[in-house]
Structure formats: C-alpha cells, structure tokens
Structure 1
Amino acid sequence: MTTKLSPNQSLDTGLSTQKLSTQDEYYLGTEDELLNDDDLYDDHDDLNNESLDTENLSFDDDGFDDAQDDDIPELSIALPDVIDMTHTVVDNESGLRIDKVASLVFTDFSRAQLQGWIADGSLLCNGSAQKSKYRVKPADVLHLSTTLQQHSQDLPENIDIDVVYEDDAVLVINKPVGMVVHPGAGNQTGTLVNALLYHYPQQHHLPRAGLVHRIDKDTSGLLLIGKTKPAQMALMEQLKDKAVYRHYQCVVAGDQASLMRHRRIDAPIGRHRNQRTKMTVMTAGREAVTHLLTVTPLNDNYCLLDIALETGRTHQIRVHLSHITYPIVGDRVYGGRRQLRAGLTEQQRQAIGQFSRQALHAYALGFVHPTTGEDIEVTTPIPEDMQKLIAVLSDGYDVE
C-alpha cells in the first residue's frame, strides 16, 4: 500500500497507530544498510557475503565496520571499455574535494570507483595525481583516463518480484524470505539484483541495479530502489541524513512489562572477536540505539514489537533484543533456547521450534520523492508465516 502523507498524519497498522514523520525523533535510522557512494563507507561491514547471514549489511546498515565500497560487488556497467573524460572546474565547485566534484560530473561511476582512480593516477588534476581530499580551484582540469573493469557478471534472471510502488524515478520491492538481495560469495544467482536486471534492464547501468539499501536473506519486507542515477543518489543522501525511515515488526520472547523497561536500547555493537559472522554488544563497538515504539502482548511471555532505529548497525535489532535477553523468535544465530518460555502449549512450542527464520519484517518505508518532493509512505502486511505464528501464540496459552 502506498500513501502520500503530511508530517502530522498517522499510519494504522491494524495493531497500533504511530505518528510517522521524517521529523519525528524516533524515525532516525534504518536496520538495513545504505548503499552510499559517499564517505559513509566508514560505517560499512563485510558487504560481500550475504551468505554469512549478515543482516543486511545495509549499504550503510551503519552496520558496517571498516570495509569500503570496494567490498560491495559492482554490477557490470554498460559503457565503453576505454574511458577518456575531461572536466574544467567552475566557480561554484571551488573548494570541494576532488572526489566529490568527480562524482558530480562523472556521473556514470560511483564515488568509490572514482576514489580508486584518483589513488592509482587514472584521474588527474592539471596533469598531476592528487589525494581524494584535495580541494579543487576554479579552472582546474580533471582528466579521467582508464579502462573500465567489469566487476561482476551479474546476469538477468526471470525471478518474480513483488512491486508495491513504482513511478519513473522510484521502485519499492517487498522482498520475500529466502531471497538474497545482492550477489556475493556463495550467492551469485537467484538474487534480487538478478531479478531487477531481468524486469528492468535499464537498471544495468546503475550501481547495484539502483539499490539504495538491503535487508538480510531471512528478513522480509520493503527495499527502496532508484530507477535513475540522480534518484538513486538523492535517496542515498536522504538515508544518510536520516530523512528515510523504516519500521520493523518482530515477534519476541519476552513479557510486556519487562520489554517496556527497554523502550530505548543504547548499546554499542561490533563484530564478534571469535565468531566473525556474528555481531555483539561490546564497549569498543559503534554507537547503536534501538527504539521499541509499541509492545503488543501476544500472551504472558511473547510480544509483537514495532521498532525504529536511531542508528543502523549490522544485525542491530537482533543483537539488541538478544542482549536484553528477549530474542526474536526463529533467530538461530542470536536466539538460542531463550526463545522457549514457560507455559507454552505443545502446539505453541512446535510453532516456535519449527519457525525457520527470524520473525522480523520491514513493514513501513517513508521517504521524500526525489523529483516531486512529496512525502511517500509504503507499507506491506506482515507475511503469512508471521501471521500464523502470531495467531498460535495468541491462542490456547496455558496460564499457570
């Protein structure tokens, strides 16, 4: 469902009503990672391997640690192999970093690509190599001369996708459980990118087929995609500036009263020292703040949460809920035996034990349209598997 909202309007999910505004203090971040070609890559994680259960290493799930944009597989770009381009700096570009100016004028390439070409001498300023932080002056001449390297062989595949919003500039997809967003080690085919290249062949010239962020293979929900390079970049900037918000719903093992004491979870997250595919709360980690907007009891020991993020670290929701000892049902990585609480019927115990993925769904997405300036909100219902789980946990509970 797509709606156009004013800042004071609300979204009725059927479970709770929340004010949704790009100005609201709660709607500050995104669980998934921002695909940003800017300096945001200081916040990146190992984005090149979703098969390791990196919960959406969003392209800026602020969940990244030290990996750079080069760790994100690029799509093949439909341009000539030999690149020879020149730009003369104008007055209004004076004082900007050379990599910033290059990204503004050589728009077919990501900023990370251009930074690499600055570093290896393929992009010169007045015939000389400079560092990316060099500030340009009027009449400086930037010359890009290189051979375009194809970073991957991502191929179109006829895979169904659920489009919930589309216009000339923006696409929003409802990703099903089990679909990897983006090709990586162990997942070269069958991804959302492969599907996008089939259904939208013009996306092939965009970095990562226009993706702005991503979510984990076993998390369902909404993904934002730019259909043009200006739209993609504008949406990335919005995500960077926290003007894009996403809401998640999840089923957790925990009682309402206890969860209400954790309405704001502020605990830094970093990569686990021994288990490198996992994240953990640690003193030396990056700042991470999660807000529990509503806590809806399903029974005495299980609740449905509506969550927003102030930051977007890798696996943030899952790690934070596990840290406070109320893990997401079905989370095999961070949940463990704590998912099973007292008083369950046999049917409920089986439903929890057999739930094959983390019960986490990105159900609401809001952004400012990159060309019209309108406030757009898209929502999608909780998927059937989570609905069935909620129904079972809400019925037949044994009260001691």
Structure 2
Amino acid sequence: MAERIVKEAQVPFDLGGNRFDQIATELFSDYSRSRIQSWIKEGALIVDGKVTKPKEKLFGGEMVSLDVVVEAQETHEAQEMALDIVYEDNDIMVVNKPTGLVVHPAVGNRDGTLMNAILYHAPETAHIPRAGIVHRLDKETTGLMVVAKTLAAQTDLVSQLQERSMGREYEAISIGVMTGGGIVDEPIGRHPHNRQKQAVEPIHGKHAVTHYRLVERFTNHTHIRLKLETGRTHQIRVHMAFIQYPLIGDPQYGGRLKMPKACTPELREALRTFRRQALHAKRLELAHPVTGEWMAWEVDLPEDMQKLIEALKADTSESERKESEYL
C-alpha cells in the first residue's frame, strides 16, 4: 500500500534569506524536519520546478512543490482482532487496551499485537512509522492509547508528547498506606545490572516527573491517581517502587507477594490471583491534530481492578469493625 502526497506553496517574502529545508519545514509543518529533508534529497520536494539543495537560501516568492509517494513502512501482518475503540475519525483513533496485549511486534511476539490489529482495522496506517502508534503501554497495563491515522496527525501528536501538552492520567493500587499525594522528580534509566528493568539513575537517567494523589486509603494499600509530565519506560512503576509504594502485582519492581497480616480470606485470594501490575491509563487529553479542538476521554477501571478494590474495601471495613470491638 502506498500514499501519494501532492502539495504546493509559495515562499513568503518574510522567510526570504533562510535555507530551503528550513523554509520547507515551515511551509509543510504537517511533516517532521527529517522527513522534509529526505524528500528534498530524493528530489520529491523542489523549488520552481527544479531540484534544490537543502542548504540553498531562497529569496521569497518561489513556488515549492511536493509530489511524493510514501510506501508502506510496516511489513508486519495485518490481523483481524477485537479492538475496543473509544473514538475514531479520519485522523486519529483512541483505543482502550486490554491487559495481556503487547503493543509492538518484537522477538517472541511477532503477531497478535496491537499493531497487527491496527493494520487490519486501518490499512492506511501501513505507511506511517509504527502504524501510527505514538506512545505505548506495557503488556499488562490497561487503558487509553491514541493512534495517528495520517503522517500529519503523527507529526502533531509526537510534538504534543514532546511538549508535554498531552494529558495522561492513570489509576493504580499501591502496596502501603500513603498519608498524602506528592511528586516524584527522579531521573530514570536502564537498570545497571538488569537490562530488562529500569531504575532511578541520578547520573545517567533521563528527566522524569510523576504526580500522584490519593483516591482512597485501605488497611494496607492505597488507591492512587497519577499524572505524567514525562513518558519514560516503566515510569510509574519505577517511581512508586522508589518511594516504597510499589504497585500490587508488579513482579519486576514490587518483589515477591507478601500477604498483609490478618487480612480477610477474600482479599488473600484476590491478591494471590491478581497477576499483573495494578495500573490503568484512565484518562487521555489532547488537541486534535487537524481541528485543534481540545478533546478528552476517560474509561472505567477494568473488571479485575474493580474486583480487587471491592476486596480491599471489604477488608478495610472488617478491620475497622474488629478495631471498634476491641476498643
């Protein structure tokens, strides 16, 4: 599958004196600078009908023309799979990812991924890098993700992520009882001894900020809401473990399962059978890449987290009842 892009624009005189690639990036802002530069070098982006070097300066008034065929970039197989689509138009798609679904194909997961499903549902995404997926969720994390269906939409959404204007809020259940919300501002990088993990790395880590606030406290756990300023790999899981409140069900950062003392049999069973990190991407906010309209979506917690919270509430009520009887 291929997409042909044909566009034309006149160079404003106030941009005269600048380099061709800089001007072209301004004129065709739907596309990234690196893509513009590659099109110039390929001869697909020309000035007054002539191939022009990227560094050549223009005077203003010239006609810049783009005529390019974008070949499919994704060679992965399109697969028919159920998708929980929360919103879709010609430019973007918002999906509610279930637990257990890998986002990108990789070694050991060549098919059955979200990307395979997107390529089947929206074949036009084959010519977009990563089939339009601009951010990811871990395999076991549930919730909202936005997918670009055009190159222009992808460029804009990536820009929103980089500028931190896209709003992403999560809900999670942590081990331990928090006294209040706060901010974790600690750099994150690859773990020095385990390449499968991330860690707080003061020297080599990248800037990472997570805001968290309390939703509800239980006897031994806390239901929290989190907002990301940055989007580092495993950021929430690493930051919560760093402040000694790891997520329930997180074997990588939470350690072995430890049962609270004197908890109800129902909670014991709920904790024993909850086999993923208790993390859900609940809310997503962004400016529509074409219309500029501010849009927001929110989805309920998945059934497994709702049942876990019910068990935590029942355990807390039972604990309070016993304490009042003792008093």
TM-score band w.r.t. shorter chain: 0.7 to 0.9
Query: Which SS does the other structure have where 2:194 is aligned?
Result: coil
Please name the residue that 2:174 is paired with.
Answer: 252
Please name the residue that 2:274 is paired with.
Answer: 355
For structure 2, the 5+ residue unaligned runs are: none
Are residues 1:344 and 2:257 paired? no
CA drift at 1:287: 1.7
Alignment of 1:257-268 (within 5 A): 257=179, 260=180, 263-268=182-187
Contact 2:210 2:229 (8 Å CA) reproduced: yes
Per-residue CA deviation, residues 322-378 of structure 1 (Å, 9 max, x unaligned), is: 011110001111011375443423332332232111110001111122233322111
Query: Which SS does the other structure have where 1:233 is aligned?
Result: helix
More helix by share: 2
Residues in 2 aligned to 1:224 and 1:364: alpha-carbon distance in whole angstroms: 11
For structure 1, the 5+ residue unaligned runs are: 1-76
Identical-residue share of aligned pairs (%):
41
Are residues 1:160 and 2:82 paired? yes
Are residues 1:191 and 2:113 paired? yes
Residues in 2 aligned to 1:137 and 1:104: alpha-carbon distance in whole angstroms: 13
Please name the residue that 2:311 is paired with.
Answer: 392
Residues in 2 aligned to 1:326 and 1:78: alpha-carbon distance in whole angstroms: 48
Residues in 1 aligned to 2:111 and 2:25: alpha-carbon distance in whole angstroms: 30
Contact 2:210 2:236 (8 Å CA) reproduced: yes
- The structure-2 alpha-carbon separation of the partners of 1:107 and 1:349, relative to structure 1 and needing over 3 Å to count, comes to same
Query: Which SS does the other structure have where 1:251 is aligned?
Result: strand
CA drift at 1:105: 7.5
Please name the residue that 1:280 is paired with.
Answer: 199
Are residues 1:293 and 2:213 paired? yes
Alignment of 1:220-259 (within 5 A): 220-257=142-179
Please name the residue that 1:307 is paired with.
Answer: 226
- The structure-2 alpha-carbon separation of the partners of 1:92 and 1:370, relative to structure 1 and needing over 3 Å to count, comes to farther
Q: Could you say which structure has the larger radius of gyration?
A: 2
Q: Give 2:213's aligned amino acid.
A: L
Are residues 1:333 and 2:252 paired? yes
Per-residue CA deviation, residues 148-183 of structure 1 (Å, 9 max, x unaligned), is: 887552121110100111223221100111111122
Are residues 1:78 and 2:33 paired? no
Residues in 2 aligned to 1:233 and 1:307: alpha-carbon distance in whole angstroms: 26
Which TM-score applies when normalising by structure 1?
A: 0.66
Which TM-score applies when normalising by structure 2?
A: 0.80
Residues in 2 aligned to 1:354 and 1:230: alpha-carbon distance in whole angstroms: 44
CA drift at 1:93: 5.8
Q: Give 2:2's aligned amino acid.
A: A
Please name the residue that 1:367 is paired with.
Answer: 286
Residues in 2 aligned to 1:291 and 1:143: alpha-carbon distance in whole angstroms: 46
Are residues 1:208 and 2:130 paired? yes
Residues in 1 aligned to 2:196 and 2:17: alpha-carbon distance in whole angstroms: 41
Q: Give 1:184's aligned amino acid.
A: A
CA drift at 1:211: 2.1
Contact 1:351 1:389 (8 Å CA) reproduced: yes
Residues in 1 aligned to 2:142 and 2:304: alpha-carbon distance in whole angstroms: 11
CA drift at 1:388: 0.9
Contact 1:269 1:287 (8 Å CA) reproduced: yes
Query: Which SS does the other structure have where 1:178 is aligned?
Result: coil
Deviates more, 1:204-213 or 1:153-162: 204-213
Residues in 2 aligned to 1:216 and 1:166: alpha-carbon distance in whole angstroms: 22
Which structure would you say has the larger RCO, counting Cα contacts within 8 Å and 6 or more residues apart? 1
Please name the residue that 1:55 is paired with.
Answer: none
CA RMSD of aligned residues (A): 3.6
Residues in 2 aligned to 1:274 and 1:143: alpha-carbon distance in whole angstroms: 52
Query: Which SS does the other structure have where 1:195 is aligned?
Result: helix
